[in-house]
Amino acid sequence: MNIVVTGSIAYDYLMRFPGRFAEHLIGEQLHQVSLSFLVDEMTKQWGGVAPNIVYSLSLLGLRPKLMGTVGRDFGDYRTWLEQNGVDLSAVRQHEDVFTASFFANTDLDNNQMSSFYTGAMARARDYTLAEACPEPPDLVVISPNDPIAMMQLTEECRTSGIRFVYDPSQQVPRLQGDELRRSMQGAYAMVVNAYEAEIIGSKTGLTIDDMRGMIEILVITQGPRGSHIYVGDKRIDVDSFPTDKIVDPTGAGDAYRAGLLRAITAGLPLDVAGQMGALCATYVLEKVGTQNHRFTVPEFIARYRTQFDDKGELDRLLTDHE
Ligand SMILES: Nc1ncnc2c1ncn2[C@@H]1O[C@H](COP(=O)(O)OP(=O)(O)OP(=O)(O)O)[C@@H](O)[C@H]1O
Ligand SMILES: [Mg+2]
């Protein structure tokens, strides 16, 4: 199956300030702030939602196509993704800007000061699926990105009759009710967490039942409590995959989507799809960063079977590699 994942592509610059911001924010001086925090720890991590999803999809044996816009500093990230089996032919590079970048500084109380520079991501609105993919894909994932690009991509999929998964997650706060309602219309699937589902409900006035009527598969993840998959008139409840080695809470949602999508492309049942999402999320939770986990397909299947019963269905992942 020819699958395209669109969304933000970014670097995350994560710093630790060995002090407390509160000690430097002086009440009567707040009208003229000029502060510099000396940090002695920084990591630069691969980030952005779309690369997180394609990274896990390629561990699961697919060669997904990443679609997005990047800047002149993309070189090392390109090499990393190429080495990991991602198809980068639909990544458009702009030499006059930097790749989107998240700069976060965290203090000893876990307070955070951060900025997100959109950079090349803002150019996503000038890039269509027709330009990116000469052959129409079988499935397009529309993940958080420039909000206008997200709306245009859903529209393009609807008018061209391309199956799409709508994944608004972090952009839910930025999107208006009518934009969300329009974008989810005709989606093959929508995946959100429980908090995002609540916000979408209050912004659009739609109930879960209304959304179920508009989308074939509605998935609402519930953190450690697992996920709910609504399809037809059924709700499938999926447990999370237990672990006692969580070191970093970020990236679970993106990895869950990769596991779920991998199963769907292999034609596996939806309960198995949710369980594959849960296991893939657990691998990410056990590592710092969102692309530092690693497994082979046989290792993934063996670990899945320590917890869930697929009745041999996952053997399909060993041979289905297109
Ligand atoms: N503490 C946990 N233990 C085990 N599994 C977890 C835990 N937290 C999340 N997961 C798994 O990850 C899936 C997605 O998690 P969640 O609902 O928190 O998504 P999210 O809020 O979008 O995450 P993210 O922080 O990556 O945006 C869950 O369905 C579950 O399988
Ligand atoms: Mg999320």
pLDDT digits (tens, 9 = 90+) for 239-291: 999 999 999 889 999 999 999 999 999 999 999 999 999 999 999 999 999 99
Active site residue 315: no
Q: What is the pLDDT of residue 322?
A: 54
Question: Average pLDDT in the 152-161 region?
Answer: 98
Answer whether residue 141 shows pLDDT above 90.
yes
Answer whether residue 26 shows pLDDT above 90.
no
Q: How far apart are the first and last CA of the chain?
A: 6
Question: Average pLDDT in the 188-202 region?
Answer: 97
Q: Among 222-226, 247-251, 293-297, 310-314, name the one with the lowest average pLDDT.
A: 247-251
Structural domains of the chain ordered from first start: 3-10+48-100+119-319 (3.40.1190.20)
Q: What is the pLDDT of residue 25?
A: 87
236: CB partners within 8 A, 6+ apart: 228, 229, 230, 270, 271, 274
250: CB partners within 8 A, 6+ apart: 284, 289, 290
Is the pTM higher than 0.85? The answer reads yes
Q: Which residues surround ligand 1 with Cβ inside 6 Å?
A: 169, 193, 221-224, 226-227, 240-241, 243, 246, 249-254, 256, 278, 281-282, 285
CA of 170 to the centre of ligand 2 (A): 6
Q: What is the pLDDT of residue 154?
A: 98
Per cent of the chain over pLDDT 90 is: 93
